Amino acid sequence: MKTILLTACHNATEAHLIKGKLLNAGIDCFLTNENMTTLAPHHNQYLNAGIQIMVKEEDLNKARELIKDNLEPVSEMHACPNCGSKDILLGFGKRKPRKIFYIFVAIMAAMPLGKFRPKYFCNHCGNEITIGT
């Protein structure tokens, strides 16, 4: 039995509401990263984190259908404009070691990083992709 990420929420209230909805429908799930998200919410956008809702792989489609109005548009399937691949990830793009070092320093200092934002990129060709805004 493999568990897989269904979605990530920005606050505990939203995560627990979705978890309750899934459990009421008979879908086993659990939350991860709840404490870090609650204690340092300003770091969620840098770490592609938030409170993560995990489900069994075989329940993924049923769970997505159940909470489709809670999913953000970014989590929908998009294709790379360069190669057409649908293997798009949120990551750090170029100069990854330097960005990870800055994130580490900011977490240790408990301060926000300013305008640093993770970027979407194609896992197949490496192209940086703008999704949404």
**pLDDT tens column, 67-104:** 887 665 444 456 788 888 877 766 655 666 766 676 67
Tell me if the domain spanning 1-75 has CATH number 3.55.50.
Answer: no
The answer to whether residues 95 and 56 touch, using CB atoms and an 8 Å cutoff, is no
What DSSP string runs through the chain? --EEEEEEESSHHHHHHHHHHHHHTT--EEEESHHHHHH-GGGHHHHT-SEEEEEEGGGHHHHHHHTTTTS-GGGS----TTT----EEEE--SSHHHHHHHHHHHHHHT---SS---EEEETTT--EE----
How high is the pLDDT of residue 27?
94
Cα-flanking dihedrals φ and ψ of residue 110, to 5°? 55, 50
User: Percent of the chain, pLDDT > 70?
Assistant: 62
Residues belonging to the chain? 133
Output 79 or 130, whichever has higher pLDDT: 79
Domain residue ranges of the chain, discontinuous segments joined by +: 1-75, 77-133
Query: How many other CB atoms are found less than 10 A from the CB of residue 31?
Result: 17
